[in-house]
Amino acid sequence: MIKKKLEDYKRNTAMFTPVEFSIGARGNRCLNVNGYVYTKKHSHNFKIYWRCAFYRKLNCKALVHSEGDYVVKSCGIHNHPRMSPYQFSNCD
Ligand SMILES: [Zn+2]
């Protein structure tokens, strides 16, 4: 099962976006992808489901799914610009 996962990774890595994790002020882990920040919604098996850090504030509906260090799926379009680097520390 895990070996198969690794093979899938190798085959698909080219289309996956590498991600960066950071820890917010309140200790929550968040995800940085291409200048957007996501907070964890829930996880299931290998996947972690994240939603935009501006979900509450701006009702932004963008979501991503990550597996390992890669984003495997993203849905929705952000209704705001990318964040500047200092805002990454305020992800929660
Ligand atoms: Zn957003």
Q: pLDDT value at position 14?
A: 47
What integer pLDDT is reported at residue 10 of this predicted model? 56
63: CA distance to ligand 1 center in Å? 8
Question: Ligand 1 is a single-atom ion; what residues have CB below 5 A from it?
Answer: 52, 54, 60, 62, 78
For residue 10, the CA-to-ligand 1 centroid distance in Å is 29
- How many helices (H) does the chain have, and how many strands (E)? 2, 7
What are the residues whose beta carbons fall under 8 Å from the beta carbon of 59, sequence distance 6 or more? 79
Provide the pLDDT for residue 11.
55
CA of 57 to the centre of ligand 1 (A): 10
Mean pLDDT by 10-residue block, N- to C-terminus, for the chain (92 residues)? 62 63 77 88 92 92 91 92 65 58
Query: For residue 80, what pLDDT is reported?
Result: 93
